[in-house]
């Protein structure tokens, strides 16, 4: 039994077009793999996908992630050095850049501590707007003076 001939035309629905592209891409990759296996050759395909980010954008994002990871690693290393210095191992082993980074880290930690102290020291909004409860009681003497019954 043969399949019916398919009329090729542009798919107007965006989601259907994307899914068809995905299926076709998967089929092409499978055929290339089969051809490579059957013929004993290496295969290479370039598939341009208008739905994915360009390679330049991927490289840029990877570079940003690498910089962020390097900065985080450096901060962790500097924190470790800070704790070693606090454990009386001394600053003699550090070079100028390490000392500079250590100074920056100490400043950041002091700023964080100051913020925490400020947030803990300032009164909360619920306390500042709550009316003060009256703590005076009406004694019989005050009631007599005001003309009330005891």
Q: Residue 73 has what pLDDT?
A: 92
Q: Is 79 exposed, middle or buried (0-12, 13-18, 19+ CB in 10 A)?
A: middle
The pTM is what? 0.41
Q: Residue 77 has what pLDDT?
A: 86
Q: Residue 105 has what pLDDT?
A: 84
pLDDT per residue rounded down to tens, the chain (150 residues): 688 888 889 999 999 999 999 999 999 999 999 999 999 999 888 888 877 767 778 888 899 999 999 999 988 988 888 888 777 777 777 788 888 888 888 888 899 999 999 999 887 655 544 444 444 444 445 444 555 554
Q: Residue 69 has what pLDDT?
A: 96
Q: Residue 132 has what pLDDT?
A: 47
Residue 109, CA distances (Å) to 35, 122, 139, 149 in order: 60, 20, 56, 65
Rounded CA-CA distance 75/86 in Å is 16
């Amino acid at each position: 039994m043969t399949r019916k001939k398919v009329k090729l035309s542009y798919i107007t629905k965006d989601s259907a077009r994307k899914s068809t592209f995905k299926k076709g891409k998967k089929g092409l990759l499978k055929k290339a793999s089969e051809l490579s296996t059957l013929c004993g050759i290496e295969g290479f395909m370039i598939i341009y996908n208008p739905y994915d980010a360009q390679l330049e954008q991927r490289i840029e994002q990877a570079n940003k992630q690498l910089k962020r990871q390097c900065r985080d690693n450096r901060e962790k290393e500097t924190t470790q050095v800070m704790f070693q210095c606090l454990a009386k191992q001394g600053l003699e082993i550090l070079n100028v850049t390490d000392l500079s980074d250590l100074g920056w880290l100490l400043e950041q930690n002091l700023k964080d501590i100051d913020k925490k102290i400020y947030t803990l020291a300032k009164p909360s909004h619920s306390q500042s707007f709550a009316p003060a409860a009256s703590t005076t009681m009406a004694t019989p003497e005050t009631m007599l003076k005001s003309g009330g019954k005891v």
